[in-house]
């Protein structure tokens, strides 16, 4: 699993939010069965969004990210801002392969790179 990154845009062949930003981000854990699988992040300044898998979650964290990249692409196609997309998907019940977005536990980082470096 080392070195794999989830990206929107060209790798998904669907239009989606930019998957990078140079500015600060807000991120939210995606949990399943009491464990964090990864984090969905957004940048309000750049209308960007993405997912960073948690290293300790291994392949499950990566697969969960594939599902979230697809959901973000759907929200983009529906014209939602990244924050509105999170509001939409936070209402979904938890389920295998997707986990549950925990909006009540936001984190903040200076960049996506900072989140990736700390993704234990």
Q: Write out pLDDT tens, residues 85-105.
A: 999 999 888 888 899 999 899
CB count in 10 Å sphere of residue 38: 28
Q: What is the pLDDT of residue 42?
A: 97
Confidence of residue 7 (pLDDT cuts 50, 70, 90): low
Q: Do residues 100 and 12 make contact, with C-beta atoms less than 8 angstroms apart?
A: no
- Residues 49-86 have pLDDT tens digits of 999 999 999 999 999 999 999 999 999 999 999 999 99
pLDDT of residue 2: 41
Q: Name the band, by pLDDT with cuts 50, 70 and 90, for residue 118.
A: confident
């Amino acid at each position: 699993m080392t070195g794999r990154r989830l990206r929107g845009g060209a790798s998904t062949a669907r239009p989606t939010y930019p998957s990078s930003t140079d500015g600060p981000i807000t991120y939210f854990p995606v949990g399943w069965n009491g464990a964090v699988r990864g984090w969905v992040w957004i940048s309000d300044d750049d209308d960007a969004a993405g997912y960073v898998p948690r290293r300790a979650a291994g392949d499950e964290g990566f697969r969960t990210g594939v599902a979230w990249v697809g959901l973000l692409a759907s929200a983009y196609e529906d014209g939602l801002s990244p924050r509105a997309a999170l509001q939409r998907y936070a209402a979904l019940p938890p389920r295998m392969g997707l986990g549950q977005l925990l909006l009540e536990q936001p984190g903040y980082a200076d960049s996506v790179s900072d989140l990736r470096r700390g993704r234990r």
